Structure formats: structure tokens, C-alpha cells
């Protein structure tokens, strides 16, 4: 596998940061500008299969329990229709998502419990452990139905479980590993600890299982669903890159 820390990816992120920042330092073109959820951001815009990842259809975030009514209105204005919560039962009970979200968004609980004695092991198990197949199926089934979009996927910090799911979605869409890594590392701008070695462990496991399409197929996400996700989350690159 190519290194996920090539200079072009680093320079690409640097260019975004210079263009302006939203709350938490996330690049302004991505940030949802939520003071109480600073890692809430758009996952679109990356070069992918025959175009780019569509803007305004796939979002990621940390917990949403502290959102104000005004911040909920920002998510309503972004068109959010579905919220996928990857936290476990205890996490949700301790910090339930803000009630004002459910004036306009459907809620899906897809709990994923962390595993592994180290972060690198945990990221690898996130991909390799077949016990997560049901959760993967639930997430990608939502993404495969256009009426569910835009979707916001969140966990507690918006970097590990949400970061892993977004990375898998990006790979399916044809985003290059360098850009997958660059997007993951943007969580540092929101004050969240991430490490390229952690996600690299997951990316290497994807390759070990024959690539993203093979891995997802083994988890019950077959070619038809994979194509539906691509159709929903890709758009033409009008900039002609």
C-alpha cells in the first residue's frame, strides 16, 4: 500500500486550513460551525470514482448532546434527514442527543463497542472482526437509500468509530488512501487526538481482506448495495479536476 502521509496530502490539508476555519479549527468549507460539536463536518469534495464525493450528503461529528436550539437549526438548514449514532447504550444514556434534532431528523442507533488493547489493534479489529458485520450493514443500508440523505454519522468524539466508518465509505467511493488519511487527520483541528498509525492499521486490514469491495461483500454488503451507495454519494466534478 502507498504511504498515507505523502507530501501532496499534507499540502492539500494545509491549503484547506489556510482558506479559513470554522469552530474548532476545522476548515470553513467543511465545518458545520457548531460550537458545541466542533468536529461536525462535511465529508464531501474528495476526488473519487469519475467525479467527487458529493458535498452536503455525508457528515460526521462527535456527540450532539450539548447542541443549542440555534445549532439544531443549523443542521436543519443543512438538510440533515438521518442521524446515525454509533455510541453504545451507556454512552447514549449519559449524553443523549439533543431533543431538538428530532424535530427534523430520523434517529438510527447502531452501537459499535470498541475493541483491542491498543488503538492500532482496535482499528484493525474494527475492520476485521465479523461481529461488526450487522452494524456495517445497518450503516450502508441507510446510505444506499437516497431519501435518507443527507446523513450525519457520529460517535462520542467523531474520530474513531465515525472516522472508521467514513474511511470505509470513502474507500468504497474511490477516494485515494492519501485523501482518506487527510480527512481523518482533520479531527486534530477540532482538538481530537488521532494518529496516522491508527487508521493505517485499518487501511492495511482492508487490503488484507482483498480490498473494500471484497471486505464489504463478506459483511453482507453486496455489489448492488455498494453501487447504490456510490450513486447516492458521488457527483460530477464541475471543476474538471
What's the confidence (pLDDT) of residue 5? 35
Residue 114 lies in a domain: yes
Residue 21 lies in a domain: yes
What cell does 170 get?
Answer: 470513502
- Domain count for the chain: 1
Does the pLDDT at position 102 exceed 70? yes
CB 196 within 8 A of CB 185: yes
First to last CA, the chain: 24
Residue 216 lies in a domain: yes
What integer is the mean pLDDT of 1-12? Answer: 37
Residue 240 lies in a domain: no
Does the pLDDT at position 224 exceed 80? yes
Residue 210 lies in a domain: yes
Condensed to tens digits (0 to 9), the pLDDT of residues 111-133 reads 998 788 899 999 999 999 998 99
Which residues are within 8 A (CB) of 238 and not within 5 positions of it... i.e. 6 or more apart? none
Residue 1 lies in a domain: no
Condensed to tens digits (0 to 9), the pLDDT of residues 21-39 reads 666 667 788 999 999 999 9
Residue 123 lies in a domain: yes
- For residue 43, the domain's CATH number is 3.90.190.10
What integer is the mean pLDDT of 208-215? Answer: 97
What's the confidence (pLDDT) of residue 240? 55
Residue 2 lies in a domain: no
Q: Do the bridges between strand 47-48 and strand 151-154 make them parallel or antiparallel, or are there none, so unpaired?
A: unpaired
Domain containing 101 equals 7-235
What integer is the mean pLDDT of 71-75? Answer: 98
3-state SS, one letter per residue, for 13-63: HHHHHHCCECHHHCECCCECCCCCCCCCEECCCCEECCEEECCCCEEEECC
pTM across the whole model = 0.89
Amino acid at each position: 500500500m502507498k504511504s498515507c502521509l505523502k507530501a501532496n496530502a499534507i499540502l492539500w490539508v494545509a491549503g484547506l486550513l489556510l482558506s479559513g476555519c470554522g469552530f474548532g479549527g476545522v476548515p470553513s468549507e467543511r465545518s458545520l460551525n457548531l460550537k458545541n460539536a466542533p468536529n461536525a463536518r462535511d465529508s464531501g469534495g474528495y476526488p473519487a470514482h469519475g467525479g467527487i464525493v458529493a458535498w452536503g450528503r455525508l457528515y460526521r461529528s462527535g456527540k450532539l448532546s450539548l447542541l443549542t436550539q440555534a445549532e439544531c437549526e443549523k443542521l436543519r438548514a443543512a438538510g440533515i434527514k438521518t442521524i446515525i449514532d454509533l455510541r453504545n447504550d451507556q454512552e447514549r444514556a449519559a449524553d443523549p442527543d439533543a431533543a431538538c434534532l428530532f424535530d427534523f431528523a430520523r434517529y438510527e442507533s447502531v452501537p459499535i463497542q470498541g475493541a483491542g488493547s491498543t488503538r492500532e489493534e482496535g482499528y484493525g479489529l474494527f475492520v476485521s472482526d465479523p461481529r461488526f458485520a450487522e452494524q456495517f450493514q445497518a450503516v450502508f443500508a441507510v446510505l444506499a437509500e437516497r431519501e435518507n440523505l443527507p446523513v450525519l454519522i457520529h460517535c462520542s468524539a467523531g474520530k474513531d468509530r465515525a472516522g472508521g466508518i467514513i474511511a470505509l465509505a470513502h474507500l468504497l467511493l474511490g477516494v485515494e488512501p492519501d485523501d482518506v488519511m487527510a480527512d481523518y487527520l482533520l479531527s486534530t483541528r477540532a482538538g481530537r487526538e488521532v494518529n496516522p498509525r491508527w487508521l493505517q492499521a485499518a487501511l492495511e486490514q482492508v487490503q488484507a481482506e482483498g480490498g473494500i469491495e471484497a471486505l464489504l461483500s463478506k459483511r453482507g454488503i453486496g455489489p448492488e448495495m455498494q453501487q447504490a451507495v456510490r450513486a447516492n454519494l458521488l457527483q460530477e466534478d464541475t471543476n474538471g479536476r
